[in-house]
Homo-oligomer: A and B are copies of this chain.
Amino acid sequence: MAREYFPGVSAIRYEGPDSKNPLAFKHYNPKEKVAGKSMADHFRFAACYWHCMKNGGGDPFGPGTRNMPWNTASSDPMGVARDTMDAMFEFLTKLGVKFWCFHDRDIAPEGRTLAESHRNLDQIVAIAKKKQIETGTQLLWGTANLFSNPRYMSGAATSPFPEVFAYAAAQVKKAMEVTHELKGQGYTFWGGREGYDMLLNTDMKRELDHLGAFLNMAVDFKKKIGFKGQFYIEPKPKEPTKHQYDFDAAACHAFLMTYGLVNDFKLNIEANHATLAGHSMHHDLEYAASNGILGSIDANRGDELLGWDTDQFPTSIYETTLVSLVLLKHGGFKTGGLNFDAKVRRQSVDPVDLFYAHIGGMDAFARGLKIAARCVKDGRIEKLVRDRYNGWGKDLGKKIEAGKLDFTALEKIALSSPEPEARSGRQELIENILNEYI
């Protein structure tokens, strides 16, 4: 029988808002319906293998600190991999999260050769498959780590070296196969080092062409193996590189259109990446949704006074409300979900801190959803917006939107019209109303 890695923790239950039990949900009640759908179905929460199981808390000024017995009990890398899979599913089960995400190299160690790495992966995937069935857990998406190994220091698909491109292709092929094997609902490409450290030593156009070719190959391979999951790319502006090609949602959108990929990919949007690019999470979600490319969410939060990806757990009810509003407005997730791409702080050394962190994030989203649902139901903000644009439902607006007026016709109208009336945007009032729902 498997060792228990979180011995003091039993299954986390919903106890309601008056509970003071730090190991209970106070707001997240998976089966409770909000706006016609269960909370579980709204969010499709996932936990991520890398931060939960493999990130010890190291930073550029010191190594890891966390007490992670699954990584230390065995002296053999494959033994560690098996122990970690036990720990991950114990964690998922106790937390009550039904989806997970991983990189190939999170779950199985890199071997001395690519063939050995493939074999390692296959062995662990077989275990994961069994555990998925036993626990009713699903794979939200899989991905390949194309940024940690020194071979990828100059990029993977955008490496100046074709041998690296080939290696990356092989690694992605395998990661797609195992994602398919695990019935993954999606597959994510995060171009961690697909960018540059210095423009003067970089052939940007050629690198972008290579990235376009690489992703087109992935589309071809997907069809070949019959994988039906959704492809995602994930915007991030910088870090580790000075500048990443998938800078933000709009840059990804331009890239996908340029390389004929816009129908095959959606975006996996991460809060902290949006803010590093100078956008609110709300903006990048709305941009993606408006352009039909919103796919999935990496939930976390950054610290806007810091300039790096802090990957903190999302606890601001304002932020979770705005995310929920976008989800309600655009019909919610299809294949995607809400993956906590977040890590406990370096001083949070106890295994139980991992539970506190996820409980806090899930409760914050549950509250955000209920607030957003109240906001939608009450309708006062929506009405203010509708009233603001009501001119477009009248004669002039309708004709413009129908394309019936050109510059000449519009000039005639403007010349004979009074000065347009100034109408307040009511930002302060809307902020106040939003606070009423909280």
Q: Is A411 in contact with chain B by the CB < 8 A criterion?
A: yes
Query: Are B114's CB and A206's CB within 8 A?
Result: no
The stretch that binds B, out of A6-14, A90-98, A167-175, is A167-175
Sampled A-B contacts (23; CB under 8 Å): A62-B147, A154-B347, A160-B392, A162-B391, A162-B400, A163-B396, A163-B414, A165-B410, A169-B410, A170-B415, A198-B345, A199-B283, A201-B381, A201-B384, A209-B401, A221-B408, A242-B305, A243-B280, A250-B250, A257-B257, A258-B291, A315-B431, A345-B425
Chain B min CB distance to A312 (Å): 9
With known contacts A115-B415, A278-B237, A316-B318, A356–B425 Cβ distance under 8 A: no
- A392-431 interface (Cβ within 8 A of B): 392, 394, 396-397, 400-401, 403, 405-408, 410-411, 413-415, 417, 419-431
Q: Is A40 in contact with chain B by the CB < 8 A criterion?
A: no
Query: Are A348's CB and B424's CB within 8 A?
Result: yes
Give the residues in chain B near A162, CB-CB below 8 Å.
391-392, 394, 396-397, 400
Other-chain residue from B58, B151, B308, B380 in contact with A422 (beta carbon distance below 8 A) = B151
Query: Are B425's CB and A166's CB within 8 A?
Result: no
Query: Are B435's CB and A65's CB within 8 A?
Result: no
Q: Is A304 in contact with chain B by the CB < 8 A criterion?
A: yes
Q: Is A385 in contact with chain B by the CB < 8 A criterion?
A: yes
Give the residues in chain B near A59, CB-CB below 8 Å.
60, 240
Give the residues in chain B near A60, CB-CB below 8 Å.
58-60, 239-240, 308-309
Other-chain residue from B238, B254, B436 in contact with A257 (beta carbon distance below 8 A) = B254
Q: Is A126 in contact with chain B by the CB < 8 A criterion?
A: no
A1-44, CB under 8 A of B: which get 1 and which 0?
00000000000000000001010001000000000000000000
Query: Are A218's CB and B257's CB within 8 A?
Result: no
Extra A-B contacts (5), CB below 8 Å, given A198-B427, A348-B426: A61-B147, A170-B407, A239-B306, A360-B432, A363-B432
